[in-house]
Amino acid sequence: VAKTSLTSPPWPEVKLPDPVEEAKFHAEVVQKVNKMIAAGQYGRLFAVVHFASKQWKITSEDLIMMDNVLEAECGDRIRLEKVLLVGADDFTLIGRPLLGKDLVRVEATVIEKTESWPKINMRFWKRHKYQKKKIIVHPQTVLRINTIDIFPCLS
Amino acid sequence: MVVLSAARWVRSRLTDRFWRVQEVLKYARHFRGRKNRCYKLAVRSVRRAFVKSTRARREKKRFLRALWITRIEAASLEHGLKYPAFISNLFKSQVELNRKVIADLAIYEPKTFKSLAALAQRRRQEGFLAALGDGKEPEGIFSRIVRRY
């Protein structure tokens, strides 16, 4: 059959590696990472957490402020579930889309529950004698992330 | 005798005009020219400033998203992937990170971003292979069985 412009696809042909060898390689890597976690050979961990309908990239000892009310008193310890990604210097654990609760543990404390600065909403049409002014003050909560822990239960 | 209504010849005078004017001027103190001192000019400028700030609050979200997308595009081009390929393959592999977080990772965690780019590249190749199909020729037109009911 003659070769036309449509005989081969426009993308370059790629061969994927052998699935059996790949499975072995994956198992090796998983075991290595498990050993590293069990031995505690990681420095500072960072995590990507989905909380208050936003995603945050957090480390230990950092502050987070959200524009809503939490039903927890000041000083309560909170565990943040819904972790999307955890990483250290040498390895990253990417969740699809979430990581298991037995793998990561993120703890936070509620520090402050305040109101935001008064934001002004104003609408004005010129020459139409139309103006409205509204002052919006919404509640805010400040959390401090205490620790991020990972446990060696990969498979 | 009990007086229920105030006498008609008593006029009330405005006593807190200063504070009413200061309420508006306090928002104009950092403006340029006479509009930071004169009430008549300041009222107009302050009103325009409020309206612009409400509009800007809505547009800030669009602007930041475009910024994140530009940053992710630049970072993924460094790893040899274009932005649409990167994002679509990430979503197809069920990784639901939003653009803000991926842009932060690209800036502060280059190794993690490299692994995400490799993941997207691998998913892309698997997608191409799946699109190619079995590689056999399609059945001939005349050898196809047509059922007429």
Residue B41 in domain? yes
Same structural domain, B54 and B32:
yes
Same structural domain, B70 and B108:
yes
- ipTM given for this complex: 0.87
Residue B13 in domain? no
Domain that holds residue B70: 65-132
Reported pTM: 0.84
Same structural domain, B83 and B128:
yes
Residue B26 in domain? yes
Same structural domain, B83 and B122:
yes
Name the percent of chain B lying above pLDDT 70: 91
- Domain count for chain B, please give it: 2
Same structural domain, B52 and B28:
yes
Residue B143 in domain? no
Identify which of B20, B27, B65 has the alpha carbon closest to the alpha carbon of residue B46.
Answer: B27
Cβ-Cβ pairs closer than 8 A, A with B, add up to: 67
Query: Three-state secondary structure along chain B?
Result: CCCCCCCCCCCCCCCCHHHHHHHHHCCCCCCCHHHHCCHHHHHHHHHHHHHHHHHHHHHHHHHHHHHHHHHHHHHHHHCCCCHHHHHHHHHHCCCCCCHHHHHHHHHHCHHHHHHHHHHHHHHHHHHHHHHHCCCCCCCCCCCCCCCCC
CB nearest A87 (choices: B53, B54, B112): B112
Same structural domain, B73 and B109:
yes
Does B128 contact A11 at a Cβ distance shorter than 8 Å?
yes
Q: To the nearest 10°, the Cα dihedral for B91, B96, B102, B108? A: -130
Which of B48, B101, B128 should be substituted to probe chain A, the one whose Cβ sees the most A Cβ atoms within 10 Å? B101
Does A16 contact B129 at a Cβ distance shorter than 8 Å?
yes
Q: Which class for B144: exposed (0-12), middle (13-18), buried (19 or more C-beta within 10 A)?
A: exposed
Model pLDDT for residues B101-110, shown as the tens digit of each residue: 999 999 999 9
Same structural domain, B32 and B88:
no
Identify which of B112, B89, B85, B88 has the alpha carbon closest to the alpha carbon of residue B101.
Answer: B112
Same structural domain, B86 and B52:
no
Residues of B in contact with A9 (CB under 8 A): 128, 131-132
Residue B9 in domain? no
Q: Is the pLDDT of residue B139 over 80?
A: no
- Taking the C-alpha atoms of residue B47 and residue B51, their distance in angstroms, rounded to an integer, is 6
Residues of A in contact with B47 (CB under 8 A): 122, 124, 131
Same structural domain, B91 and B121:
yes
Residue B140 in domain? no
- Taking the C-alpha atoms of residue A57 and residue B98, their distance in angstroms, rounded to an integer, is 11
Residue B117 in domain? yes
pLDDT tens series, chain A, 155 aa: 778 888 888 888 888 888 999 999 999 999 999 999 999 888 889 999 999 999 999 998 999 999 999 898 999 999 998 999 998 888 899 888 888 889 999 999 999 999 999 999 999 999 999 999 999 999 999 999 999 998 888 87
CB distance from A96 to chain B under 8 Å? yes
Same structural domain, B100 and B78:
yes
- A87 CA: distance to closest CA in chain B (Å): 8
Q: Please tell me whether residue A145 adopts helix, strand or coil conformation.
A: strand
